[in-house]
Amino acid sequence: MPLILHIETATPVCSVALSSGDTVLAERVSERMNAHSEMLTPYIRDVMKEKGMEFKALDAVTVSCGPGSYTGLRIGVSAAKGLCYALNKPLIALGTLECLAAEALTTGLIPENEWDKSLLCPMIDARRMEVYSALYDCDGKEVREVRAEIIERDTFSGFLANTHLYFFGTGATKCRNLIAHPNAIFRGPEYPLAAFMAEAATGKFINKQFEDTACFEPFYLKDFIPGIPKVKGLS
């Protein structure tokens, strides 16, 4: 089974995991929000040390590629690419919403006897009034593509008419009072975690679905808009 290091920094939570195939061997999750630049490197070192593994033993590195926090994605992808360059190992990329949906399924959000009549809607807060969202069936297949959108009362009406729709993630909190429908269910994981990347990453490794390390960039979905500088004298 491939030994893979997983990096997830697309949201305020920073997490790292080490897996052999689908089995997670070690993981670290930050307890402080937006501490990626401080915690990522120690976490990578910690999971390798915990299992007594040398970095050269890795078969690949996986990174959550977005959408999500611009800064978080840059930090995670830069670290992953650096490791792949230094170790001459392949880079695997997984969509952040795909990882969040996999986490919901793995943790048993939806009973298996309801899989045929349910869809997953992971959401990540995209600031202001927007969220990043997508729809997946209970086999993890994408039903509706990833979008950055302002959610309105009827945004999911076509799906909610005949389907149980499970909303979760940091963006779902913004929509809880807006989407009022008997088939709209708000519960599940809030943040994607690296430990739940193992199964999908192993599948990509077996099928040799690797990224071009030199050219790979995060999937931002939206252009970065810098805020107003808070340092006196800057404008």
Task: Give the pLDDT score at 229.
Answer: 45
Residues of the chain with CATH 3.30.420.40: 3-96+192-206
Those residues whose C-beta lies under 8 Å from the C-beta of residue 184, and which sit 6 or more positions away, are: 156, 160, 165, 167
Query: Has domain 3-96+192-206 been given CATH number 3.30.420.40?
Result: yes
Task: Give the pLDDT score at 232.
Answer: 47
Q: Confirm if 57 and 3 have CB atoms less than 8 A apart.
A: yes
Task: Give the pLDDT score at 228.
Answer: 47
Residues of the chain with CATH 3.30.420.200: 110-186
**Would you identify the CATH topology of the domain 110-186?**
Nucleotidyltransferase; domain 5 (3.30.420)
Per-residue pLDDT of the chain (235 residues; tens, 9 = 90+): 999 999 999 999 999 999 999 999 999 999 788 889 999 999 999 999 999 999 999 999 999 999 999 999 999 999 999 999 999 999 999 999 999 999 999 999 998 899 999 999 999 999 888 999 999 999 999 999 999 999 999 999 999 999 999 999 999 988 998 998 999 999 999 999 999 999 999 999 999 999 999 999 999 987 544 444 444 444 4
Q: What are the phi and psi torsion angles at 97 (to 5°)?
A: -70, -35
Task: Give the pLDDT score at 31.
Answer: 79
**Chain segment 104-147, per-residue pLDDT in tens:** 999 999 988 999 999 999 999 998 889 999 999 999 999 999 99
Strands 130-136 and 142-150 come out as antiparallel
Specify burial of residue 158 (Cβ count, 10 A radius: 0-12, 13-18, 19+): exposed
Task: Give the pLDDT score at 230.
Answer: 46
